Chain A
Amino acid sequence: MSKKIILISSDGQSFEVDEAVARECGTIKNAIEDKCTDNGIPLANVTSATLAKVIEYCKKHVEAAAKASAGDKDIYGSNEDIELKTWDDDFVKVDQPLLFDIILAANYLDVPGLLDLTCQTVADMMRGKTPDEIRTIFHIKKDYTPEEEAAVREENAWAFM
């Protein structure tokens, strides 16, 4: 019977998770090892909606790792990896506010796989786009004067060709 850890979101919601799942988060792993988990771990920077997603990711990856070490390798490479990748691709199909909340949570909670996955998602949204297109996608407001902008463009001319 595995030990359960209680995680408390910034808006007061409690989440009970298996210790193995909680340990996917580096900061929580440290808290467990420092033995300060008795009354649950408060996470002031993570809302319940975001925490639910982080827990979902950690749970799936703990399950996948257990399956990989237990099962036998398929002859043409592991089918599990493709399945997990497809799951990851679907996992990040969320709107921008949630995506960025997950990035910040993954950074704060130290979940390297999730941080890499979500950063890659944002990078993929930027690829092949011009600065103007990027501004539109991410709602960035230009605050340079025309002279300032010209100076920035000249500094790294090839970057704007």
Chain B
Amino acid sequence: MASRKVVGTGVRDLISSLPDEVLGNILSLVPTKLAASTSVLSKRWKHSLSLVNILDFDDSMLFYPNKVTDLPRTCFFDFVDNTLALLVNSQVKKFTLKCRHNLDTSRVDRWIRTVLERGILELHLTSHEDHCIDSEFFTSKTLINLTLSHGFYLEEGGCLPNGSVFFPALKTLTLIATGYGADYMFDALISGCPVLEELFIRYGDGPHGSDWIMVVSGQSIKRLTISSGFSTEELEFDRTSVLFQTPSLLFLDYSGYVQEHYTVDFSSLLEARLDLRLWESPIESNFDYENDVDVDGFGDATILVLGLSNVTTLHLSSHSLEVLHSCCSFIPLFSNLTDLSFESDEKQGWQVLPVLLKNSPILETLVIKSLVHKVTAKCGDMCACILKNKEEEECCLWRCQVKVLDIRGYGGSCKELKQMGHFFKKLKRLEIVKVGVQQESNNNGEYLRVTNDLMKLPRVSSKCHIQFYAAHR
């Protein structure tokens, strides 16, 4: 064991006596700037930067942001150059670059080429300013994880690498607000990653992310997340078709405004999360919410929902409930669905739920985030808001096979209590009811009242048993 340095009061400097490889592990987990600054700690640390195998450069990171400095801008670029030179013989596994300020484009190009040539595994690039990557040399046999964010993009019409193969080993690709609108380079990139398994796209945040080609075609993709920023800027209505050609897809998380046409291949899909929203023109609303009349709106999600009908697990946002109600000409049979969860809020109604439950014959688990919803005449027998005639045989809940009911975020109001009473009276197969009670910090009296009220409700299922837990908002 190396001898330990003793300082002053007998408190020991243990970190300096760690072996190089362990110190290298630790320094690889902090920003490279910090790792480099440890060279000044003591002589043992002089060459600490050479021990790292992960590089993380962020040009906006400053120890002393208020200190006026007359060091030139090239300082940052020199730092990256020096570090890459220092590690020329090391196996650098991961390279992250975040640029908020002006770029020296030729140096950035050189860095990208250098790390790709050195057999890197992960590359993450973010830039505030636009930087066009030289696509012809944007290739590596070892890269498994790539992120292009904001300013970094590939030029439409640029040369492709040899054989059109960008990254033969890439498993994960993340594109954040890179603005691939109407271009084939996006498609070329996806096709050029033949073993891609996970694709994450973030779009619709404003200028950089306003466009996404709305096509995903990948034979090997297993997990797909398409996340929309729901920008309220005027949409370009000339692109209204969405194509998902993803036969190996197991998991889909899709958010976006409802479009007019969908073409999908989700033949392997097991789980889907959906947050579809209606585009609401700020000028005039096309929807007659007051009378809940189905007015001809923008968008038809029928094919999309049909494509999802073989999943075993489905999550719907509150907006999606509204979209399924007003933008689907029919709700398909969900013959494999065992787990359904949805969220509600006071602006969206539950009109689609009766038919959704009727069409889910083997549903076992129902998770509801918030019972509060917009009261409409068409919630049907799903909810207890409006008094019905005594035609209980037709209630969608009678035939429901649900065994587990989980209410996340229960406030204990009268309306919610009535709703719970309705569930207890109708769900014949209920075995476990989990209730996540929303708690005000120290109001135990309130908590007891809420839980007691629920425990007193009559239950049609003799096996039904209630568990309470604390819910966070």
Residues of A in contact with B (beta carbons under 8 Å apart): 45, 75-76, 96-97, 100, 103-104, 107, 115-116, 119-120, 122-123, 126-127, 129-131, 134-135, 138-144, 149, 152-153, 155-161
Is the pair B49, A156 in contact by a Cβ cutoff of 8 Å? yes
Is the pair A140, B30 in contact by a Cβ cutoff of 8 Å? no
Is the pair B42, A126 in contact by a Cβ cutoff of 8 Å? no
Is the pair B38, A134 in contact by a Cβ cutoff of 8 Å? yes
From B71-79, B166-174, B297-305, B374-382, give the one contacting chain A: B71-79
Considering the complex, give the chain A residue whose CB is closest to the CB of B314.
Answer: A75
B1 within 8 A of A: yes
Is the pair B25, A119 in contact by a Cβ cutoff of 8 Å? yes
* Residues of B in contact with A, size category: 35 or more
B51 vs chain A, min Cβ distance (A): 12
Is the pair A119, B40 in contact by a Cβ cutoff of 8 Å? no
Docked complex Cα distance between A108 and B210 (Å): 52
Q: What residues of A have a CB within 8 angstroms of the CB of B82 in the complex? A: 155-156
CB proximity to A under 8 Å, residues B336-387 = 339, 341, 365, 367
Residues of B in contact with A (beta carbons under 8 Å apart): 1, 5, 7-8, 11-16, 18-19, 21-22, 25-27, 29-31, 33-34, 36-43, 45-46, 49, 62-64, 67, 69, 71, 75-76, 78-79, 82-83, 313, 315, 339, 341, 365, 367
Is the pair B43, A144 in contact by a Cβ cutoff of 8 Å? yes
Is the pair B11, A159 in contact by a Cβ cutoff of 8 Å? no
Is the pair B26, A122 in contact by a Cβ cutoff of 8 Å? yes
Is the pair A140, B40 in contact by a Cβ cutoff of 8 Å? no
Q: What residues of A have a CB within 8 angstroms of the CB of B67 in the complex? A: 161
Q: What residues of B have a CB within 8 angstroms of the CB of A144 in the complex? A: 40, 42-43
Docked complex Cα distance between A97 and B16 (Å): 13
B238 vs chain A, min Cβ distance (A): 37
A73 vs chain B, min Cβ distance (A): 9
Is the pair B11, A135 in contact by a Cβ cutoff of 8 Å? no
B69 vs chain A, min Cβ distance (A): 6
The 9 closest A-B pairs by CB, nearest first: A123-B29, A159-B36, A158-B79, A100-B14, A158-B75, A138-B15, A159-B37, A75-B339, A119-B25
Considering the complex, give the chain A residue whose CB is closest to the CB of B27.
Answer: A123
Is the pair A157, B40 in contact by a Cβ cutoff of 8 Å? no
Is the pair A131, B365 in contact by a Cβ cutoff of 8 Å? no
Taking each of B12, B22, B62, B78, which has the highest tally of chain A beta carbons within 10 Å of its own beta carbon? B22
